[in-house]
C-alpha cells in the first residue's frame, strides 16, 4: 500500500463525466418534526443501461457533507445480493435482464434522515467483457481492478483508461495491464470519484465498460514514523461483526487503526482482552464478538467455517483464546499476526464462496514476491492428500463459485499457522498471570527482549543450526541483505546438502524463530487432523529438476521432538500427543531429477509405461482450477521492530 499524493477534481466534473443517473429524494427530520431538509447527496450510476454479464454500480455521492448510517436495499427486480449494503458504493452482477430499483437511506451531519431511489435497466444483450469492481476506498488505500472477457478475445485490443478524477499510476510491474491493474488511492480532502473505462474489439466491434472508485477522505493521518503500527500503510475501515459485542466500541481503535503508535495510544488487556480473559471455553458466538470485518460476508463465512469444521476437537476455538481480535478485511494481504495488538489479520481469499464475494477483495500480488529472485534455486512445497493436491483454487477468469468444503484445508492450515504465533506470544500459562492494565505492546515487547517467547525456548533447547540457511532466508524472505556473490552461486544440490539433515520442515522455518515454531505446529496438525501431508523440495528456478525432496518430513527423528515441544505449549488440550507422534509415517523420498509437477503420486502401483500413461491421464485436472502449492512465503509477517529484534537474535 504505497501512497500517492495527487490533486483534487471538482464535483461538477464528476457529474458530467459519469452521466449522473437521476435519483429521487425523500427527506425528513425524525428527531424534531421540522420541515424536511434537502440533501446535496445524489446517486450516480456509471451506465443506466447495462448488458448481461457486466457489473451494475451505484454510488452515493456527497462530497460536501459527511454521511452516516448508510443502508441500501433493493425495492424491485430479480432478487440480488448486495455485499456492501452499508457502503457508499454497491455493485452486483447482471445475470438476468430487467429493471432493478434500489433505495438508500442515510443521515447527514445534523442527524437528518434522507432517502434516495434509483432504477437501472439490464438489457438482453450479452457483453463479451466486464470490468469489476466499483467500490469505496479510504484515501491512500490499495485498489485492484480486473476485467473479464470471453476466451476468444484478442487481448491485444484491451485498453485501460482513466476517464476522470485525480490521476493515478497503475503498477504495471505487477500486471500486464490487460487483465488487472493495481494502484493506491490518491490523497483527497473530500469524497472524490475516480472513473475508469476498459475497451476491447471483438469481430470489428468495440465494447466498453466503466466503473467508479469512490475515494473517501479520512481525518486520520497515515503515520510514516517508525513507531507507527501500520507505518506508511492506510488500513481499511472495518466494523464489528457483532455490533452488540462488549468490545464493539473499542476493538477497531485497538487493533486496526492508523492512530496506533508505540508508547502512545495502545490498548491493554482490560480494554481489549484476550478471548481467554472472557472465557476459557469459548463458543463460536464468543469468538464472533471479537471479529472485525470490512464486509459482512467475510464474518458470515468465518463463522460458518467454525460451525462446520470445529466441532470434534475444538482446535480453532481453543487456539483463538490467545487472540484479542480477528480482523478480516479486503486490504489484508498477506495474513499476519501482530503481537502488539494480540490480533490476527486474515486475508479473506480463503473464505469467499461466490465470484461476487471474490470481487470485493484486493488482488494485488504479495509485495515480497520478487525477494531473492537472483538465487539459483527454489524450495516449493505443497499439501497433498491421497496422492493428490489437498486444495484447488478456481482460476479467477472463470468466475466460478465453490463450496465451503473446498476451503477447508487451505484455511485450516492458515489458522493453525497464525494461531500458533498467537499462542507463542501469549500461551495458556500466561493468561491468568499478566497485568491486564499494562499495554499489550509493552507486555509483548518485554517478552521479546527477555527471550521469554516460547519459540525462543525452542531455539535454546532444540535449535535450528545451519548458518547458510538462516542467511539465505534473510535474503529470500526479507530481502535484507540482498544476495551476495556466494549465495547467488549456490546450486540446488548445494541447498539440498545444507537443508536435508536439519530439523526444519521447510525453508520458511529459517525466516525467524517465530516461523520455525509455527511451521512445526501447522504441518503436524494438518497431518494428524486431516491426514494431509506436506511435500518439500529443492529444485531449479523452473521447478523442472528436483535435487532433493521429501513427503511427510515431520516424521524425521530430529524433527519430532521439536514438534512435541511446540504442540504441548500451543495446544495443551491435544490428547495422546505421544501416540500421534509415534504414528507419523516415515518420510517418503521424492525422486531426484524429476519435475515438480510429475511427483504428485508417490509409491504408485503402476509399473509399466501404459499404466503410467493412463494414471497420468486420470490425474489431469479441470483447467478451470489450479492446485494450491506453496508460494515462496507463508502468510505471516512481523512489525519492523520485531524484525529488528528477531533479526539480531537470529544472527547471534
| Tens of pLDDT, residues 195-239 | 999 999 888 889 889 999 999 999 999 999 999 999 999 999 999
Instruction: Name 345's bridge partners.
Output: 327, 336
Distance CA 473, CA 481 (A): 10
Q: Is the dihedral of CA 553, 556, 562, 563 positive or negative?
A: positive
Distance CA 571, CA 416 (A): 10
Tell me if 31 is assigned to some domain: yes
Neighbouring residues of 309: CB distance < 8 A, sequence distance ≥ 6: 316, 408, 412
Q: Is the pLDDT of residue 176 over 60?
A: no
The mean per-residue pLDDT over the stretch 120-142 comes to: 93
Phi and psi, residue 603, nearest 5° = 55, 40
The mean per-residue pLDDT over the stretch 82-88 comes to: 95
Which 3-state string (H, E, C) describes 191-260?
CEEEEEEEEEEECCEEEEEEEEEEEECCCCCCCCCCCECCCCCCCCCCEECCCCCCCCCCHHHHHCCCCC
The verdict on 563 and 638 lying in the same domain is yes
Q: Which has more pLDDT, 466 or 96? A: 96
Tell me if 367 is assigned to some domain: no
The verdict on 339 and 468 lying in the same domain is no
The verdict on 339 and 403 lying in the same domain is no
Domain boundary among the residues 298, 330, 350 is at 350
Distance CA 187, CA 141 (A): 9
What are the strands, taking DSSP E only, across 298-380? Answer: 325-328, 336-338, 343-346
Residue entry with cell 478485511: 329
Neighbouring residues of 636: CB distance < 8 A, sequence distance ≥ 6: 334, 335, 336, 337, 417, 418, 421, 514, 515, 518
DSSP 588-606: EEPPTT--GGG-SS-S-S-
The verdict on 278 and 182 lying in the same domain is no
pLDDT of residue 27: 52
The verdict on 345 and 438 lying in the same domain is no
C-alpha dist (Å) from residue 595 to 598, 607, 633: 5, 19, 21
For the chain, what is the mean pLDDT? 88
The verdict on 497 and 432 lying in the same domain is yes
Tell me if 5 is assigned to some domain: no
Number of domains in the chain: 3
Tell me if 359 is assigned to some domain: no
Phi and psi, residue 416, nearest 5° = -55, -40
Phi and psi, residue 493, nearest 5° = -65, -35
Distance CA 101, CA 452 (A): 59
Contacts of 169-172 spanning 24+ positions with Cβ under 8 A: 169/4, 171/364
Q: Is the dihedral of CA 549, 554, 560, 566 positive or negative?
A: positive
The mean per-residue pLDDT over the stretch 588-617 comes to: 72
DSSP 104-169: EEEE-TT--EEEEEEEEEEEEEEPSEEEE--EEEETT-EEEEEEEE-TTS-GGG-EEEEEESS---
Using CB atoms within 10 A of its CB, is residue 214 exposed (0-12), middle (13-18) or buried (19+)? buried
Q: Is the pLDDT of residue 43 over 90?
A: yes
Q: Residue 23's pLDDT band (boundaries 50, 70, 90)?
A: low
Using CB atoms within 10 A of its CB, is residue 177 exposed (0-12), middle (13-18) or buried (19+)? middle
| Tens of pLDDT, residues 324-338 | 999 999 999 899 999
The verdict on 455 and 413 lying in the same domain is yes
pLDDT of residue 604: 54
Distance CA 57, CA 247 (A): 34
Tell me if 232 is assigned to some domain: no
The verdict on 460 and 598 lying in the same domain is yes
| Tens of pLDDT, residues 52-63 | 999 999 999 999
Boundaries of domain holding 62: 11-216
- Tally of residues, the chain: 652
pLDDT of residue 153: 83
The mean per-residue pLDDT over the stretch 258-276 comes to: 95
Dihedral angle computed from the Cα positions of residues 261, 266, 272 and 276, in that order, rounded to the nearest 10 degrees: 90
Stated pTM of the model: 0.90
Tell me if 225 is assigned to some domain: no
The verdict on 248 and 206 lying in the same domain is no
The verdict on 457 and 605 lying in the same domain is yes
The verdict on 186 and 261 lying in the same domain is no
Tell me if 157 is assigned to some domain: yes
Tell me if 364 is assigned to some domain: no
Phi and psi, residue 138, nearest 5° = -75, 140
The verdict on 317 and 386 lying in the same domain is no
| Tens of pLDDT, residues 428-442 | 999 999 999 999 999
Residue 487 CA from chain centroid, whole number: 31
Q: Residue 632's pLDDT band (boundaries 50, 70, 90)?
A: low
| Tens of pLDDT, residues 519-553 | 999 999 999 999 999 999 999 999 999 999 999 99
Amino acid at each position: 500500500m504505497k501512497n500517492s499524493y495527487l490533486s483534487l477534481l471538482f464535483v461538477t466534473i464528476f457529474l458530467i463525466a459519469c452521466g449522473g443517473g437521476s435519483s429521487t429524494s425523500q427527506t425528513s427530520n425524525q428527531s424534531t418534526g421540522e420541515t424536511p431538509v434537502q440533501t446535496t447527496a445524489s446517486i450516480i450510476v456509471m451506465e443506466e443501461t447495462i448488458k448481461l454479464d457486466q457489473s451494475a454500480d451505484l454510488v452515493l455521492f456527497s462530497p460536501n457533507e459527511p454521511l452516516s448510517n448508510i443502508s441500501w436495499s433493493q425495492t424491485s427486480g430479480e432478487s440480488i445480493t448486495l455485499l456492501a449494503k452499508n457502503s457508499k458504493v454497491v455493485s452486483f452482477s447482471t445475470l438476468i435482464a430487467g429493471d432493478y430499483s434500489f433505495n438508500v437511506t442515510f443521515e447527514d451531519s445534523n442527524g437528518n434522515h434522507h432517502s434516495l431511489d434509483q432504477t437501472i435497466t439490464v438489457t438482453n444483450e450479452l457483453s463479451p467483457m466486464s470490468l469489476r469492481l466499483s467500490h469505496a476506498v479510504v484515501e491512500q488505500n490499495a485498489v485492484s481492478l480486473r476485467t473479464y472477457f470471453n476466451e476468444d478475445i484478442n487481448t491485444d485490443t484491451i485498453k485501460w483508461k482513466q476517464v476522470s478524477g485525480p490521476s493515478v499510476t497503475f503498477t504495471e510491474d505487477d500486471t500486464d495491464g490487460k487483465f488487472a491493474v493495481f494502484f493506491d488511492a490518491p490523497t483527497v480532502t473530500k469524497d472524490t470519484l475516480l472513473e475508469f473505462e476498459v475497451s476491447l474489439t471483438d469481430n470489428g466491434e468495440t465494447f466498453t465498460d466503466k466503473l467508479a472508485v469512490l475515494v473517501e477522505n479520512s481525518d486520520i493521518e497515515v503515520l510514516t514514523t517508525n513507531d507507527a503500527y501500520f507505518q506508511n500503510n492506510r488500513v481499511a475501515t472495518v466494523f464489528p461483526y457483532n455490533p452488540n459485542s462488549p468490545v464493539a466500541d473499542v476493538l477497531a481503535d485497538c487493533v486496526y487503526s492508523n492512530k496506533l503508535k508505540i508508547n502512545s495510544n495502545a490498548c491493554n488487556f482490560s480494554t481489549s482482552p484476550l478471548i481467554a480473559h472472557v472465557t476459557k471455553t469459548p463458543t463460536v458466538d464468543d469468538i464472533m464478538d471479537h471479529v472485525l470485518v470490512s464486509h459482512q460476508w467475510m464474518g458470515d463465512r468465518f463463522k460458518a467455517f467454525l460451525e462446520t469444521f470445529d466441532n470434534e476437537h475444538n482446535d480453532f476455538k481453543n487456539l483463538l483464546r490467545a487472540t484479542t481480535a480477528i480482523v478480516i478485511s479486503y486490504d489484508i494481504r498477506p495474513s499476519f499476526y501482530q503481537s502488539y495488538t494480540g490480533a490476527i489479520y486474515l486475508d479473506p481469499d480463503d473464505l469467499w464462496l461466490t465470484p461476487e464475494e471474490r470481487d470485493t477483495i484486493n488482488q494485488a500480488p504479495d509485495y515480497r514476491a520478487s525477494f531473492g529472485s537472483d538465487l539459483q534455486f527454489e524450495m516449493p512445497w505443497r499439501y497433498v492428500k491421497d496422492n493428490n493436491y489437498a486444495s484447488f483454487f478456481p482460476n479467477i477468469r472463470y468466475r466460478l463459485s465453490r463450496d465451503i468444503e473446498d476451503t477447508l484445508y487451505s484455511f485450516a492450515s492458515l489458522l493453525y499457522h497464525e494461531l500458533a504465533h498467537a499462542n507463542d506470544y501469549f500461551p495458556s500459562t500466561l493468561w491468568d498471570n499478566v497485568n491486564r492494565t499494562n499495554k499489550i505492546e509493552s507486555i509483548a515487547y518485554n517478552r521479546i527482549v527477555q527471550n521469554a517467547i516460547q519459540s525462543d525456548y525452542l531455539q535454546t533447547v532444540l535449535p535450528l543450526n545451519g548458518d547458510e540457511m538462516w542467511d539465505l532466508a534473510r535474503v529470500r524472505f526479507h530481502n535484507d541483505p540482498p544476495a551476495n556473490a556466494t549465495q547467488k552461486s549456490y546450486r540446488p544440490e548445494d541447498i539440498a546438502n545444507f537443508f536435508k539433515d536439519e530439523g526444519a520442515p521447510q525453508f520458511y522455518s529459517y525466516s525467524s524463530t517465530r516461523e520455525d515454531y509455527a511451521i512445526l505446529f501447522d504441518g503436524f496438525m494438518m497431518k494428524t487432523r486431516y491426514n494431509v501431508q506436506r511435500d518439500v523440495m529443492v529444485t531449479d528456478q523452473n521447478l523442472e529438476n528436483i535435487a532433493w525432496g521429501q513427503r511427510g518430513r515431520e516424521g524425521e527423528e530430529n524433527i519430532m521432538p521439536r514438534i512435541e515441544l511446540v504442540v504441548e505449549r500451543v495446544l495443551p488440550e491435544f490428547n495422546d500427543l505421544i501416540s500421534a507422534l509415534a504414528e507419523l509415517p516415515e518420510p517418503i523420498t521424492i525422486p531426484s531429477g524429476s519435475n515438480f509437477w510429475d511427483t504428485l503420486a508417490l509409491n504408485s502401483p503402476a509399473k509399466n509405461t501404459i499404466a503410467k500413461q493412463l494414471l497420468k491421464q486420470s490425474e489431469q485436472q479441470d483447467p478451470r482450477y489450479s492446485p494450491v502449492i506453496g508460494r515462496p512465503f507463508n502468510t505471516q509477517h512481523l512489525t519492523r521492530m520485531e524484525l529488528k529484534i528477531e533479526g539480531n537474535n537470529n544472527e547471534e
